[in-house]
Structure 1
Amino acid sequence: MTSESTDEMPDAPADSSAGSVTDGATGTAIDSGSDRVSPTGTAAAEDAPAQAAAEPRRSRFDHLPSPVFLALLGVTALGGWLAWNRTDPGAFVLVLGAWLLSIVIHEWSHAALAHRWGARDLRGSGLLSLNPFRYPDRFLSVVLPSAYLILGGFGLTGPAHRWEGVRGRRRQTLVALAGPLTNLLLAVLFVAVPALMLRGQPTDSWFWSGLLLVAFVQATAAIVGLLPIPGMDGFAALAPYLPRRWATFGLSDGVRTYAPIAVFALLWIPPVHSQLLPMATVVLESLDLFDESLLLPYGELNFRFWSDS
């Protein structure tokens, strides 16, 4: 009976709109044989300009250094000139300015790699344009690291960032490691320049001792930054391989805010602080360029020009 009724069913009338598809969500009639969309799809057409406006506009100036970075470079050069002429506060301006420049380059290395691997929302941001005044967390990324240097005499960068849009665990790890590795490369640079210029000759130059202090600060920043502590770059490098709950907690806003402060407080304890200094010195001595054992304390003394000792 079923087969007979099926055979007796009349053929379905030909669909005059064959070749067209109707979008059930928007009611838009789309001709499958072409790219034409009927006037009924005005809602989707109206959304297109809004989506385009939401995306950052591309500019040839997106990756150029900002005037703020160039001004900071000039102030650091002025500090270097004052230090060369043994004038206070030349060593202080030189070391602090070089540290601020390294912070900006540290953050730029993170952002440039993240942008290359999918974080398109960074286009036009202060992180890519080397403008610390446009950082989303200026206090944590600039003010506190400057205070760490002045009060503690060592380098400690700001908290780790969550880079949206970067896919793949390996890429996320490399983005997190870009900052500390940048500090390590800068440490090598600031040791190599005095070594090549002095060629083993003893000196009491404020300028060269200041550059060596900058190298020491970069080494401490690299060591501390690589520690797998929640909120720091070392943890962010491991986060892609951790359970999601742990990774989310370790990079949450609350942890990112207080983790660097807690690390600084821990490093302020004399036994801990005394262990960090030899570690950074070992990094510099491993380069085997010249003996910095006497020049480094001299740089610290000139940096703290307000101190009597």
Structure 2
Amino acid sequence: MFIETLITEPILFLRIVTIVIFSITLHELAHGWAAMSQGDNTPQQTGHLTLNPVVHMGKESIIFLCLMGIAWGQMPVNPSKFRSGKLGNILVSAAGPLSNLALGVLFIMVLKFLSNLSLSGLLSEDFFYLAARINLTLFLFNLLPIPPLDGFHVFSEIFPKLKPLQYTQFGLFAMMLIFIIPEFGMGLASIADLVIQSLLGEESAAF
């Protein structure tokens, strides 16, 4: 289990937990800000326009992250309030993954800036590489057209025939397969590594 990393590699454990909590919090806030821009004030009414990760993730998700290395978040929105139902749903759904993409690119830029410096400790060059890798992986993962992921809501608006899948067991079955097959997550992380290395223009050590 992931919690074993706390004993074997405590610095890595703290880095991953910190990055994931920060990234999910901004991911959910991006959904909320996008919903507000589309005329839905539900995020504000429910008190979700906050940087408090407990509000977005809940204690259960944070505990599960520390134990299993898996976490989730939630942003309450009301699509019926969107000025444009279809476009609004696409924009609000895509905002979360795009925030992770933006964070990934930002951390890569920080890596480029720090390339000539020698840092150690929690906020070392390895930390920013890991932050970029996690965020790019979250971006790719959340774009999968599987309910309840953001990608499904985007693609189901473009291809309405997909919508009935959200009322079936397809999403649950597909998510179970994803978490049962570790090679899938490793594949997404490998793609993230390739993106980072290509943007850095140099060989970068993967974790």
Alignment TM-score, normalising by the size of structure 2: 0.75
Higher relative contact order (CA 8 A, sep 6+): 2
Q: 1:102-144 deviations in whole A, cap 9, x for unaligned? A: 1111000001110121212222434312333334x73686555
Measure how far apart 1:229 and its partner are.
1.1
What amino acid does structure 1 have at the position aligned with 2:93? Answer: A
Measure how far apart 1:225 and its partner are.
0.6
Structure 1 residue 120 and structure 2 residue 25: aligned?
no
Whether contact under 8 Å (1:230, 1:255) holds in the other structure is no
Q: Closer, same or farther in 2 for the Cα pair 1:227/1:133, shift >3 Å?
A: same
Give the number of the structure whose alpha-carbon radius of gyration is greater.
Answer: 1
Give, in whole Å, the separation in 2 of the partners of 1:263 and 1:89: 29
Structure 1 residue 278 and structure 2 residue 190: aligned?
yes
Flag structure 1 segments of 5+ consecutive residues without an equivalent: 1-87, 298-309
Whether contact under 8 Å (2:104, 2:131) holds in the other structure is yes
Give, in whole Å, the separation in 2 of the partners of 1:167 and 1:194: 40
Higher helix share: 2
How many residue pairs match? The answer is: 196
Structure 1 residue 231 and structure 2 residue 148: aligned?
yes
Q: Closer, same or farther in 2 for the Cα pair 1:223/1:239, shift >3 Å?
A: same
The Cα RMSD (Å) is 3.4
Give, in whole Å, the separation in 2 of the partners of 1:91 and 1:111: 30
Structure 2 residue corresponding to 1:95, chosen from 16, 40, 48: 16
Identity %: 26
Give, in whole Å, the separation in 1 of the partners of 2:146 and 2:76: 14
Alignment TM-score, normalising by the size of structure 1: 0.53
Structure 2 residue corresponding to 1:177, chosen from 94, 98, 116: 94
Paired residues for 1:158-177 under 5 Å:
158=73, 163-164=78-79, 165-168=81-84, 169-177=86-94
Q: 4+ runs of 1 displaced by more than 3 Å?
A: 88-91, 139-144, 155-163, 201-206, 241-244
State the SS of the aligned residue for 1:167: coil
Measure how far apart 1:265 and its partner are.
4.5
Give, in whole Å, the separation in 2 of the partners of 1:272 and 1:90: 25
Flag structure 2 segments of 5+ consecutive residues without an equivalent: 1-8
What amino acid does structure 2 have at the position aligned with 1:272? Answer: F
What amino acid does structure 2 have at the position aligned with 1:167? Answer: R
